[in-house]
Structure 1
Amino acid sequence: MVEDPLCNPNKPLKISFEEITSAAYKIRSGVLNTPCILVLLILEVSYVKFNRDGHLFKEGFFYNKREGNFKERGARYAMLMLNEEQKQKGVVAASLGNHALAVCYHGYHLGIPVTVVMPIMAPIMKIQKCRELHANVIMEGKDMNEAKKIAVALANERGWTYINGYDNPQIIAGQGTIGLEILEQVQDIDAVVVPTGGGGLLAGVAVAIKTLNPSIKVIGVESERCASYAKAVENQKPVLTTIEGTLADGLAVPMIGYNAWETSRNLVDKMVIVKEKWIAVAILRFIENEKCVVEGAGACGLAAILAGQLEEFKGKRVVLILSGGNIDTTILGRCLERGLAADGRLIKCKVTVSDRPGGISELCKLIGSIGVSIKDVKVVCETRDYIHSLELRDLLFSRYKKVRLDTIPSKPAITSTTD
C-alpha cells in the first residue's frame, strides 16, 4: 500500500499559527475575504426553540462563486508553495468534489496541470465543473479511501505532486485563514461551529481561534453516517470508519487525517454528531429563512442547533461556518422533501373513501377546507368495462399533462363511446 508522504502516522505534523498567518499573506491576491453576516435566527422545530444572535460565515458561497466552497484557501496555498519543477509536472488529488474543484480552479489560473481522482459516488455537478476547468478527471474507487490510493499511486508513477484534501499541512494552514477572518469581523464570540470531515478545516480554524482567543469554544459537527472524528476521539487516534450514504457528502471521509488529528485533538471543545433528518431540515431552513442554498456538509452546524445539541449556547454569539453550496439540483429537491417531512409539513396518508362517484371530490374539498395543498394523488378507479377505462384514460390526458395508468391491459384500439 502506497502512503501519502506528507501524512505519516508515525510522525504526524502539528500545524502552527505562524504557518496560518503565512498562508493568509500568500493567498491574499487570489482568495477574497468572506463577510461574516449577522442574522437573528429564530428557529422553531417541533419542540426545539433556539433564539439567539448568530453569525453566518458564508465561506465561498456568495462571494467566491467559482467553486462554492472553502477549499480554495488551502488549495491555492499548497500550489503556490510548489517549486517550479513540481508546477511543471502537475498535481493530482482525490476528492468527492469540493477539494477537486478548488485544485482545478487554481491549477487552471496558475498554469499547473491538474488530475483529480473522484469516487464513482461523487456528485455529477462537481464532476462536470472539474471538467469545465480543463482538468483530467478520473472516475475510480467506490469511496474516498480507494480514490486516495489511486491518486497516490499515480503521483508516484508519473512524478506528480499529490495534494491531500484535508491532511496536507499547507491545506490545513490555508483553511485556518478562515479563523483569522472570523476574529477580524466578529467581536465577543462565544463559539465557532465547524463542519468536520477529514479534519483539515477543524484543525486550521481551531489553531487560529485558540491562539488568538482561547476562551472561544471550538465545536466540530459531523453526520452520524460519517462520524470519523468521533471514532478517533473514542480510540484516541485516527481509525478507519465505515461510511454510509449521507446528505453531507462533503464530509464523507473514512478516516481523520493524522496531521489534522495531531493539530486539533487538544483544541476541540466538543464534537457533535447530527442525524440526517436534521441536516435536511437545516438545508430547508437556509433556503426559506436566509434565501441561501447550502449543501449538506455546510448545513451541519445549523442542524446541530435545530436538533437541540447546542443548548448551552442559547442567547450567546455563535459563528456557523457554511462550508459549501455545491449541491445537485436533483439532490436538493429530495433534500427539501426530506426536510419538509422531518419538519412535519409533508404528510403521506391513505384514506378509504366511498366508491360512489364524487367520493374523491369530497375528500379533496375536505382537505382544501383547512388550507392544505395536495402534492400527489394515487387513485384506484373502478369502471364498467375496458371501453369505459379508455374513456377515463382519454379524459385524464385531455385535462392533465402528466398521467400514468398502470393497470389498463394492452388491447387493440377500441373507439370509446358514452353509450
Structure 2
Amino acid sequence: MLQLSDILEAEDRVRETSRRTPLQYSYTYSSMTDAEVHLKLENSQRTGAFKIRGATNRIATLSPSEKEAGVVTASAGNHAQGVALAATRAGVDATIVMPQHAPISKVKATRNYGAEVVLEGTDYSEAADRAHEIEREEGRTYLHAFDDEDVMAGQGTIGLEILEDCPDVDTVVVPIGGGGLISGIATAVKGKKPDARVIGVQAEGASSAAPSLEKGERVSLDGVDTIADGIATRSVGERTFPYIQERVDEVVTVSDPEIAMAIVHLLERSKTVVEGAGAVPLAAVLFEKFDYDEGETIVPALCGGNIDLNTLSNVIVRGLVETGRYLKIRTVLKDRPGSLEELLAILTAHQANIYAIHHDRTSRDVEMSDTEVEIELEMRGTDHVERFLADLRDEGYEVDVLA
C-alpha cells in the first residue's frame, strides 16, 4: 500500500511542475466557528486545481519506452488540464479525450497546455471508452484521474505542505470524488502526525463513500446531481477505497445550498474563487457537519478554482437567496392607478432595494381586472425577509416566493 515514503519521493518530482500553494489563516471563519481555521489555497495551483500534482508524479514514473509511446486519458476538466501541462513539461505526447459537450473554456485550456484533444461521446464514460481504445490502438499509457498509487502520492504532497506550514493542525478536511486526493493527503497526514484527524466530504448528490464504508464494500450510485462537478463520481475508486477505510476518520456530506453559501462566503469575505468541489470542505466546517472543539486547528483543503462563469453566476444568486440577500416574489394587484404605488410604499418602508420589476396585465392566471407583478429585491438577511413578507401578508397581499 501507499506509504509516507512514496509521498516524500513524489515531493521532489512534483516540485518540477506544480507550485507550493499558500496556507492562509482566516480570522473570519475562525470567528464564525470558534475554531482556528487555516485555508489551504490549492485553487491557486497551476491549471487551477490539485490535479497537476498527481499527473506530474505519474508521468515521472513512466519508463523511457512508455514516455516515448505517449499517454492518454479521459476528462472533462481539471484532470485534462493537469495531464496536458505535466506531459508537455516532461516532453511526453498526450491525447485527452473529452466529451463533445465539455465546456469550451476547458477544451481550449487543455489544448493550450499542449495536448491533442479528441471530442468523443456525450459524457465521461463514453469519452473514457474512446480513450481506452486509443490506449490499445496506439500503445499509450492510460493515466487514471484517481485510481492509481502514483497519482495518489502526487496529491499527497498537499498533506506534506499543510503539516510543514501548520504543524499544530488537528483536523484536515478534504473533498472526496474518486478518492485519490484524500487517499494521498490522509497517507501523508497519518504518516507524519497519526493523531491528526482527516475528514472526508462529499456532496449529497454524489455521496458514495459513506454508504460504501457502512457496507464494507464499494457502492455505485445510479446517478449524480450536484453543483460540485469536480467530485461528481458515482463511486470511489477500487484502489482508493482501502485507504479511505483505513486512514480517513469520518466522511460527511453537504448540500448544494450549503456549497453555494460557502462559495459566496469565500468570494465576499476572502476574495477567493473556488469551484463547487473546492468549497465542500469549508461548507462542512461552517455548517458543523462533524464535531470539533473550540480552538481546534482545522485546515479545509480548497482543492480547485475552475468554476464556469455561468455556474458561478447561478451559484452567487443561490447563495444570496440562502442568506436572505436576494428575494424574488410574485403578487397580484388591482389593475387601477395607485395600486403599484401602494405596494412600493411597503417596499420603501422596509428599505428593500428593487433590482427589477415586471408588470404583466396579460397573465391568464389572474382575473381581467387584476395584474400580476414580479419583483426582484436586494434584502439585508433572513430576518429582514421574514419581517417584509409578514407585513405584505398583513396588508392583504397574497405573495408567492419565487427565489
Residue in structure 1 matched with residue 162 of structure 2 by the alignment: 182
- Hey, what's the Cα distance between the residues in 2 that align with 1:241 and 1:33? 35
Displacement, 1:314? 4.1
Q: Secondary structure at the match of 1:218?
A: strand
Pair 1:41 & 2:66 matched: no
Q: State which drifts further: 344-353 or 278-287.
A: 344-353
**Structure-1 separation of matches of 2:34 and 2:105:** 35
Question: Of residues 57, 76, 90 in structure 1, which corresponds to 2:40?
Answer: 57
Q: Is the 8 A contact 1:145 1:254 kept in 2?
A: no
Provide the residue aligned with 2:399 in structure 1.
Answer: none
State the AA in 1 paired with 2:248.
Answer: V
Which sits farther off after the overlay, 371-380 or 175-184?
A: 371-380
Deviates more, 1:275-284 or 1:86-95: 86-95
Give the structure 2 partner of residue 85 of structure 1.
65
Tell me the SS of whatever aligns to 2:330: coil
- Shift, 1:105, TM fit: 1.1
Partners of 1:93 and 1:115 within 8 A in 2: yes
Q: 1:217 aligns with which of 191, 197, 200?
A: 197
User: What's the counterpart of residue 393 of structure 2?
Assistant: none
Q: Secondary structure at the match of 2:219?
A: coil
Identity of aligned residues (%): 38
Letter of the structure 2 residue corresponding to residue 72 of structure 1: I
Q: Unaligned regions of 5+ residues in structure 1, if any?
A: 1-13, 383-419
What are the residue-to-residue correspondences of 1:17-416 with 2, within 5 Å?
Answer: 17-42=4-29, 50-59=33-42, 61-62=43-44, 64=45, 66-120=46-100, 122-381=102-361
Shift of 1:42: 4.1
Could you say which structure has the larger radius of gyration?
A: 1
Q: What is the SS of the residue equivalent to 1:298?
A: helix
Q: Tell me which moved more, 252-261 or 321-330.
A: 252-261
Matched residue, 1:11:
none
Q: 1:29 to 1:135 in 2, by over 3 A?
A: closer
By how many angstroms is 1:94 displaced? Answer: 1.6
TM-score normalized with structure 2 length: 0.85
Aligned mates of 1:42, 1:297 — CA distance in 2: 18
Indicate if the aligned counterparts of 2:17 and 2:89 stay in contact, CA closer than 8 A.
no
Compare the two structures and name the one with the higher helix fraction.
Answer: 2
How far has the Cα of 1:291 moved from its partner? Answer: 0.5
Match of 2:2 among 4, 12, 15: 15
Which shows bigger deviation, 108-117 or 199-208? 108-117
Q: 1:257 to 1:291 in 2, by over 3 A?
A: same
Hey, what's the Cα distance between the residues in 2 that align with 1:18 and 1:83? 20
CA distance in 1, matches of 2:197, 2:210: 17
Whole-angstrom CA distance in 1 between matches of 2:279 and 2:295: 20
Shift, 1:145, TM fit: 3.5
How far residue 347 of structure 1 moved from its aligned partner, in angstroms, is 1.7
Residue identity matched to 1:58:
L
Deviates more, 1:272-281 or 1:117-126: 117-126
The 3 A distance-change label for structure 1 pair 174 and 306 is: same
AA aligned opposite 1:54: V
Q: By how many angstroms is 1:283 displaced?
A: 0.6
Letter aligned with residue 35 of structure 1 = P
After TM superposition, the structure 1 stretch with the greater mean CA deviation from structure 2, 322-331 or 115-124, is 115-124
Matches of 1:344 and 1:207, distance apart in 2: 41
Separation in structure 2 between the aligned mates of residue 42 and residue 70 of structure 1, nearest angstrom = 23
The CA distance in 2 between the partners of 1:37 and 1:285, in whole Å, is 15
Q: How many residues align?
A: 362
Deviations 1:182-221 (A, max 9, x none): 0000032110000110000000000100111111110000
In 2, the alpha carbon distance for the partners of 1:333 and 1:43 equals 27
Residues 365-396 of structure 1: CA deviation (Å, up to 9, x unaligned)? 431333322223221148xxxxxxxxxxxxxx
Superposition TM-score, scaled by structure 1 size: 0.82
Aligned CA RMSD, in angstroms, stands at: 2.0
Alpha-carbon displacement from aligned partner over 1:27-51 (angstroms, at most 9, x marks no partner)? 223222112111123489xxxx623
Counterpart-to-counterpart distance in 2, 1:124 and 1:57: 28
- Bigger RCO of structures 1 and 2 (CA < 8 A, at least 6 apart): 1
Separation in structure 2 between the aligned mates of residue 304 and residue 216 of structure 1, nearest angstrom: 17
Report how far residue 142 of structure 1 moved: 4.1
- Relative to total residues, which structure has the larger strand share, 1 or 2? 2
Task: State the alpha-carbon separation in 2 of the partners of residues 215 and 55 from structure 1.
Answer: 18
2:390 alignment partner in structure 1: none
